[in-house]
Amino acid sequence: MEGRPAALAYSVAQAMAKTDSEIGVRGGLPMPRRKQTSRREQTPRREQTAGPFETEALGAELASRLEPGDVVLVRGELGAGKTTFVRGACRALGVTAIVTSPTFSIGQRYPAPVPVSHIDLFRVTDLDGEDPDLLADYLDSDSIAFVEWPPVAEDPVARLARIAARVRIDHAGGDRRIVEIA
């Protein structure tokens, strides 16, 4: 948070915390207070977000618990906010490139302290008919990966990598979204 105006830091903390009482103070700036859980522990949770910034903040929070080799599956209807969630996670992992939906291939790899892959499988209608190396190009033990996926894609991903979390995002009217992380 160094270098950030206190007001912005506070709004980030607010977006990432469920209530004001969860906001702690570190180095003079308010920060979301972490629950005392182990790094690998993933407590299922369901949140409502009121705009893209809050969905990004949930992605950032999940990112802080990920390790190299982890894959996060993100599902949801068209325009639900899957890429928005991944964008927040990528930022938190140190990706400086603009994070958008992969356009000309199924995925993108972003340089970062731990490299990050972002795969969008919604355009792939039949994974079984694809080159087996298609996913392997993006999933490895040195990277963290996010996969926007239709349910049928889970098995091929699970064969190649450790699924650390499953995220489901649903429209809830206007800019509201329900984000489930399990």
Ligand X SMILES: Nc1ncnc2c1ncn2[C@@H]1O[C@H](COP(=O)(O)OP(=O)(O)OP(=O)(O)O)[C@@H](O)[C@H]1O
The verdict on 61 binding ligand X (CB under 6 A) reads: no
- Residue with smallest beta-carbon separation from Mg ion: 83
Out of 57, 66, 82, 161, the residue judged to bind Mg ion by CB under 5 A: 82
Decide if 158 contacts 139 (C-beta within 8 A).
Answer: no
The verdict on 76 binding ligand X (CB under 6 A) reads: yes
> d(Cα 146, Cα 66) in Å, to the nearest integer?
11
What is the residue whose two structure tokens read 């830091």? Answer: 9
The verdict on 81 binding ligand X (CB under 6 A) reads: yes
Q: Which stretch binds ligand X (CB under 6 A): 11-19, 30-38, 73-81, 102-110?
A: 73-81
Count of residues near ligand X by CB under 6 A: 17
Nearest approach in angstroms of CB 103 to ligand X is 11
Nearest Cα to Cα of residue 57 among 103, 7, 13, 123 = 13
Q: Which residues within the stretch 140-179 sit at the binding site for ligand X (CB under 6 A)?
A: 148, 175, 177
Q: Which strands make up the sheet holding 144-148, listed edge to edge?
A: 45-49, 177-181, 162-171, 70-76, 144-148, 116-120, 107-110
The verdict on 78 binding ligand X (CB under 6 A) reads: yes
